[in-house]
Structure 1
Amino acid sequence: MKPEKVLTIGIDIDGTVTSPSSIVPLMNESFGKDLRYEDCFEYNLANVYKITDAEFDKWLDENGERLYTEAPVHGNADQILRGWHSHHQLIYISAREARHRAVTLDWFSRYDIPFHEVDLVGSHDKLAAAKRWGVDLFLEDRLENALQLSEALQIPVFLFDTPYNQSELPPLIHRVKTWDEVQKMVQVLNLARTSV
């Protein structure tokens, strides 16, 4: 008998399942810079690289496929997600555009990363998708998303620690440094839900 799925976990892709530093070498190459990941104190990389939002959008439009193909896995995310797959509902909700679905699914397949759904919403506003899928918690690296999701849905959000998301956090947002840390926190949440 198949075990009942305990948690529906909303999971961002870029900077959460992929390494948050993976965009920096590509942008350095394109814009002739020598910035380090640690220099990226702002989520908006147009400001970090001193280019316009339009220039960044054009760059992402032209380089998105390469970025999404070459991005390495963030730590041991692949192993942990494989362990969760039979117990939890894994719903990836990403700002990537729908036209990048094939390259996204190829990347998931290459790293053997399991999923139940992949929802490419094409915008940083993931609230409607998170509501539609009924997520119980969310894994994210963008501070603004974490704040919106935790406040609107009253769910815990695990925010992966990066140079660009430093801020004081409300009680429902938990800063995490590694996927092992997330794994432990999910086990605690799981126990709390199953013992009710």
Structure 2
Amino acid sequence: MKTDKVLTIGIDIDGTVTSPSSIVPLMNECFGKDLRYEDCYEYNLANVYNITDAQFDEWLDQYGHRLYDESPVHGNADHILRKWYAEHKLVYISARDARHRDVTLDWFTRYQIPFHEVDLVGSHDKLAAASKWQVDLFLEDRLENALQLSEALQIPVLLFDTPYNKSTLPDLVHRVNSWDEAQEKANQLFLARTSF
């Protein structure tokens, strides 16, 4: 159901609101590696770290709380999201499991990041949640999600540039390098409707 807010903006958390490099130091510590963020050439870090998907899932199960608690904010995301909150409905749609809701909300409070809804779907498939919340724009770092959401919902997606999402993009997916660029692109896309 639409509100009096101008836009409903769907926002991924990890790698979008949090720094995309934040997982690397913790994985290095746990797996005895010395990889750099730039070495993460694909989203599936199990392949990057030469471990199985099951080992990665087990690691995330054990260290997810610490990762979500310690991740820094991505650039000036907090400042821009505080500006957007007054005019737009902010719905965070994340692959995090629901059991990580408390650490997620504590982190949002610590960094004064406002939200209207936080939907932890426990899966990389965010399409049903994005449909449910009727999002007009989505912010994401995972290429597969950006492609799926833009095509299925016919909405623009802002894809934060990372080493693991290099690809030619369709017209509705726009690569951005920073939150300032995201704000500028959102302004261009929705100039007739609103201002960011």
TM-score (structure 2 length as normaliser): 0.96
Structure 1 unaligned regions, length at least 5: none
What SS does the aligned partner of 1:191 have? coil
Q: Deviations over 1:96-117 (max 9, x none)?
A: 0000000000000000000000
Higher helix share: 1
**1:36 partner letter:** R
Do 1:24 and 1:35's aligned partners in 2 also have CA atoms closer than 8 Å?
A: yes
User: Which residue number corresponds to residue 143 of structure 2?
Assistant: 143
Task: State how 1:40-119 maps to structure 2 within 5 Å.
Answer: 40-119=40-119
Give 1:1-196 correspondences, 5 Å limit: 4-194=4-194
Mean alpha-carbon deviation: is it higher for 77-86 or for 184-193? 184-193
Alpha carbons 1:6, 1:190 under 8 Å: kept? no
Quote the Cα distance in structure 1 between the aligned partners of 2:8 and 2:194.
14
Of all paired residues, the percent bearing the same amino acid is 79
Q: Equivalents in 2 of 1:194, 1:67: separation in Å?
A: 35
**Alignment CA distance shift 1:17-1:134 (3 Å):** same
Aligned to 2:100, the other structure's residue is in SS state helix
What CA distance in whole angstroms lies between the structure 1 residues aligned with 2:146 and 2:51?
A: 26
Question: Which one-letter code corresponds to 2:73 in the other structure?
Answer: V
Cα deviation 1:70-104 (Å, max 9, x = unaligned): 00000000000000001000000000000000000
Q: How many equivalent pairs are there?
A: 193
Amino acid at match of 2:56: F
State how far apart, in whole Å, the 2-side matches of 1:62 and 1:53 are.
14
Shift of 1:194: 4.9
> Which digits, 9 at most, give the CA deviation of each residue in 1:119-178, with x for residues without a partner?
000000000000000000100000000000000000000000000000000000000000
Structure 2's unaligned 5+ residue stretches are none
Write out the 4+ residue segments of structure 1 that deviate beyond 6 Å after TM superposition. Answer: none
CA–CA separation in structure 1 for the residues paired with 2:187 and 2:44: 33
What is the CA–CA distance in structure 1 between the aligned matches of 2:108 and 2:40, rounded to whole Å?
26
